[in-house]
Chains A and B, each alone.
Chain A
């Protein structure tokens, strides 16, 4: 759904660099989820955030990965010291507070580590 905005769409990083992925949820949505999709695989949950809070980060690697969703601005998924295995599509989804039926995804960021 065009309402969830992710940028950049494509990101190339050399091994050891940092990657920052941004997600702006749909207007009025305060729940943000990040997922990772490896080639030819399904989406794997990474982290669930609400404004200024990490609710569930059970799917996120303990090292090098972090996420935030500040009071103002987009949610950021940050990967430090990237390695080739981090190459994947990273999707953000947002849900509304009042409805459980709206779960829309952004177009994803395709990270390539060279």
Chain B
């Protein structure tokens, strides 16, 4: 069974500083994908970044990077140079990837509310 844990219900960060949002996961499947989403106050779910369990390097997308530590089963999101527009809920999610590529559901953590201070 999959399980995703986000231990920080809320976090503050000063504008222009970096912030790390924690995510740990539990799965017995060796093949899986890890996702981060941003949900601003308007409510939509915005895909940020993806990390595959077999990827050799940590994923990066602009100011977002994923600190993937497979042995620790953690996939923390790092946002560099925070901006006021980064204030939102952030969700970590995981999906097991069976060999036939049929796919399974995304399982979400409870989310972290990030507030960027000017």
- A interface with B by C-beta (< 8 Å): 1, 31, 33, 35, 41-45, 48, 55-56, 59, 89, 91, 93, 95, 97-98, 100-101, 103-105, 107-108, 110
Contacts and interface: CB of A to CB of B under 8 A. Distances in A.
Q: Which 7 A-B pairs have the closest CB atoms?
A: A105-B45, A43-B108, A101-B50, A42-B110, A42-B108, A107-B44, A45-B105
8 contacts: A45-B105, A55-B102, A56-B105, A59-B105, A100-B52, A101-B52, A103-B47, A105-B44
Nearest to B59: A101
Nearest to B92: A42
A31 B105 CA distance: 10
B35 interface: yes
Nearest to B9: A40
